[in-house]
Amino acid sequence: MCLNRTMTNEELSQQIAALTATVTEKFNEIDKRFEQIDKHLEQIDTRFEGIDGRLDKLQAGQDDLATKYDNLKAGQDNLVAKHADLQVGLDDLRTKYGEMNEKQGYIVNAQQTIAKTQDELQRALEEHGAKLEEDFTDMKATQASIQHDISRINRKMIIEAGVRDTMHESVFSTQDSHYRELDRRLRVLEAHFPELGQQGA
């Protein structure tokens, strides 16, 4: 009778060892899956770092464009001021033209020179305006491209987040199932061998 009890305890130990090995193997598989998830998250972090770099470059480009725009605006204001000064000078010359007929030839030449200067200033203003419009068009195109990339990555993140949540639920469900099965088997063994339950207590 004592020999039979010893053999039964050995068999019980073997079953417990087998269950322990199975649980250990499952946990190792779970650890591997989590390692894969961690690698995937690291790849996502790397992608975001690349996006941050591009956004920094875009911001630097926008700041540079803003600086250029301010410089061009200051230049335009200066040209407008000079144009106003020239207009005042032209009005003054016209007044003097009426008072000094003897200097008519000089005044006519001066008017022609001023008119030429006005045309040059006008062309310069138009060229600056066209350049500003081109710069802003390029900037809008760049912003649209970056916004498209951000939207695409956001969609990928949403999809990847759904996959990750599903994987977590599967892992935890499997783990809970293994624990419940192990507990059930231990209770069956304790029911057949009450002395095991007393030893555990």
Question: What is the C-alpha to C-alpha distance for residues 4 and 52, in angstroms, rounded to an integer?
Answer: 71
Render pLDDT for 28-68 as a digit per residue (tens, 0 to 9).
999 999 999 999 999 998 999 989 888 899 899 999 989 99
Closest to 178 in 3D by CA, of 36, 20, 33: 20
pLDDT for 1: 39
Question: What is the C-alpha to C-alpha distance for residues 5 and 35, in angstroms, rounded to an integer?
Answer: 45
pLDDT for 166: 63
pLDDT for 2: 42
Say which residues have a Cβ less than 8 Å from residue 54's Cβ, sequence separation at least 6.
146, 149
pLDDT for 134: 78
pLDDT for 26: 93
pLDDT for 24: 94
All residue ranges of the chain with pLDDT < 50 are 1-4
